[in-house]
Chains A and B, each alone.
Chain A
Amino acid sequence: MASPTPIPRALLLIGLAALALYPIAGDVFYVQLFAKIMIFAIFAMSLDLLVGFTGLISFGHAAFFGLGAYTLMVLSPEYTAASLWLSLPLAVAVAAMAALIIGALVLRTSGVYFIMVTLAFAQMLYYFAVQSKVLGGSDGAYIYVKPDAAILGWRPFDLGNRVHFYYLVLALMIGTYALLRTVLRSLFGRVILGIRANEQRMRALGYPVFRYKLAAFALAGGLAGLAGYLEAAQYGYVNPEFFGWQESGSVLMMVILGGIGSLFGPILGAFALTLLQDFLSDEAIFHGFHKHWLLPMGIFIILAVLLLPRGIGGFALGLGRRAPEIADD
């Protein structure tokens, strides 16, 4: 197993140290913003498992993000807290199960059909959320009390505390990174990389390609559910836009712009894109034009596609190589 190129590894450790130390001296606003970015980093890494490593371009990954978020909402009693230890695994399980079912359908298609069909399924859930009175309809619903981390009366941390929440998200982001890295190094990872490179050959070698792709789809869905759960817990609020195609689109942008096929890339993409959005929509800088921040964002995306074909990560660090090196020996 070759280690990632030295620069990113050093950068990764420095970045991690900076993130771990930030809340000690940092501004409350940025503690919240960074927590949100790390949630999106989890979401983006989960999508990269499909886009970058399995070769499946999903444009409906928000379906599972939304399911994780709505599961927390449904499990939260109105005036008391849901247990973190119960609701979080359940949210992940619901998202993974849904991914298993939807995956069984969408994986019958490939290429551009796959892009359209994943989008259509996410849209189906979107309409379901809009029309369901139980789920709050188009207005969404509030989660008044944050999940409770107490085990048998002992409460190791408090999600209502921004700094505690920040560290939980940081730990889960590192955990997701480690999990995906382990999975990609395992035999399973080798097989899905093989599918990405040449599906016919893997089939000829006797691998049940469909089952591997489905397993990757379910794992990615479960992790997207985790991200959705955290996002809902952070803001205490869900609405159908969690399923929205803007959500799927922006996470796909994070993956592609960060550099596909490297787990580090999506994290970078999540930071770059969210910070750019935060900057462009800053009223103090853009006086009134900040409302139209999507215009410079759109121009930025188009220029990035035309000028940086390997993404920001690929551009800056030579990371987003077409053949992912993370699983090379």
Chain B
Amino acid sequence: MADGSILLIQVLNGVQYGLLLFLVASGLTLIFGIMGVINLAHGSFYMMGAYIAFSLTELLGNFWLAILIGIPLSVAIGLGLELLLFRRLYRRDHLYQVLLTYGLILIMEEMRSLLVGDDVHGIAIPALFDVSIRLTDTLSYPVYRLLMSAICLVMAGLMALVIQRTRFGMTIRAGADNREMVELLGIDIGLVYRIVFAAGVALAAFAGMIAAPVASVYPGMGNQILIVSFVVVVIGGIGSVKGAFLGSLLIGLADTFGQVLAPQAAGMTVYMLMAGVLLWRPAGLFGRA
């Protein structure tokens, strides 16, 4: 049954892409939902993660070690940017948020160019996982992609646990609902902002790191994922992590199947899906109108 195997491969690819997208989009939706900041530079954090993974793997010779160092590094960069720039955006008009984060994209892209150069790079898939599972005589599926999906699922589960089951998660949910009220209740919202922002940066960077071995590391890679993440957030509803999860999977599958079924319109399928959702529910699947 070659057809069944091909279908399975496409579904696995779509789910894997969707789950990766979720890591980026969930940070984006939380940063907007809680802090009211539209962050155009979120895709640049994804790019940053991929380049950190590439540079550290070159330096240390071990991909996992690179990730282990890369995560606290991303958190630190997130905290630094919050302190330096994003803190000044909380009460300001979307217009200025768009402008400042646009400026940040330019800076990060040029920093990347100065530090690492403009070449396209690749990272070898870690040896242990550089095998494929045979599905039929001619078709097989790489184990590393399955591992990526598994890691993303664990991350999603952890996020759900933190947001639904902990006191801090309760504050996050409350903050997304009504920021002023949370502040009035005497909760240090500044601290919540700092943690959520740094976590969002780290999640996007982490996505870039684990994607680096399967997608090449190239200039401008952050912009592509940023715009697709916007589509995810619009479909899922702003501030809703559940919506981001569902939206990511929908987009992942739509994009993958779009490329197989309608190669001429590939790249447009996700936007058509978005247009459809907008017609049906302008505030997204889980958004409040």
Give me the interface of A with B, judged by CB distance under 8 Å.
51, 57, 59, 105-106, 108-109, 111-113, 115-117, 119-121, 123-124, 127-128, 130-131, 245, 249, 252-253, 256-257, 260, 292, 294-295, 297-302, 304-306, 309
Can you offer 30 A-B residue contacts whose CB atoms are under 8 A?
Answer: A59-B98, A108-B278, A109-B282, A112-B94, A113-B283, A115-B38, A115-B98, A116-B231, A117-B234, A120-B274, A123-B271, A124-B268, A130-B267, A131-B268, A249-B102, A256-B95, A256-B96, A256-B99, A257-B99, A292-B110, A295-B106, A295-B114, A298-B103, A301-B102, A302-B85, A302-B104, A305-B99, A305-B100, A305-B103, A306-B88
Name the residue on B nearest A295 (C-beta).
B110
Which A residues are CB-close (under 8 A) to B120?
none
- B267 A131 Cβ-Cβ under 8 A: yes
- A302 B264 Cβ-Cβ under 8 A: no
Q: A109-B278, A113-B238, A131-B267 are in contact. Are A252 and B98 (CB under 8 A)?
A: yes
Whether B105 is near chain A, meaning CB under 8 Å from some CB there, is: yes
- B107 A298 Cβ-Cβ under 8 A: yes
Q: Count of chain B residues with Cβ under 8 Å from any Cβ of A?
A: 43
- B227 A120 Cβ-Cβ under 8 A: yes
Whether B139 is near chain A, meaning CB under 8 Å from some CB there, is: no
- A301 B106 Cβ-Cβ under 8 A: yes
CB B103 to nearest CB in A, in angstroms, measures: 3
Name the residue on A nearest B272 (C-beta).
A124
- B267 A127 Cβ-Cβ under 8 A: yes
Which B residues are CB-close (under 8 A) to A131?
264-268
Number of inter-chain CB pairs below 8 Å: 117
Partner of A120, one of B102, B234, B266: B234
Distance in angstroms between the alpha carbons of A292 and B234 in the assembled complex: 33
Which B residues are CB-close (under 8 A) to A295?
106-107, 110-111, 114
Which A residues are CB-close (under 8 A) to B114?
292, 295
Which A residues are CB-close (under 8 A) to B94?
57, 111-112, 115
Whether B223 is near chain A, meaning CB under 8 Å from some CB there, is: yes
The 4 A-B residue pairs with the shortest CB-CB distance in the complex, in nearest-first order: A298-B106, A301-B103, A124-B271, A295-B110
Name the residue on A nearest B37 (C-beta).
A112
Give me the interface of B with A, judged by CB distance under 8 Å.
32, 38, 85, 88, 92, 94-96, 98-100, 102-107, 109-111, 113-114, 223, 227, 230-231, 233-234, 238, 264-268, 271-272, 274-275, 278-279, 282-284
Which B residues are CB-close (under 8 A) to A300?
103
Partner of A112, one of B223, B238, B266, B268: B238
Partner of B96, one of A116, A128, A305: A305
CB B266 to nearest CB in A, in angstroms, measures: 7
Name the residue on A nearest B106 (C-beta).
A298
Name the residue on B nearest A127 (C-beta).
B267
- B98 A57 Cβ-Cβ under 8 A: yes
- B234 A116 Cβ-Cβ under 8 A: yes
Name the residue on B nearest A110 (C-beta).
B282
Distance in angstroms between the alpha carbons of A277 and B82 in the assembled complex: 28
Which B residues are CB-close (under 8 A) to A117?
234, 274, 278
Name the residue on B nearest A301 (C-beta).
B103
Name the residue on A nearest B282 (C-beta).
A108
Distance in angstroms between the alpha carbons of A59 and B98 in the assembled complex: 9
- A105 B264 Cβ-Cβ under 8 A: no
Distance in angstroms between the alpha carbons of A59 and B102 in the assembled complex: 11
Partner of A298, one of B92, B105, B266: B105
- A119 B99 Cβ-Cβ under 8 A: no
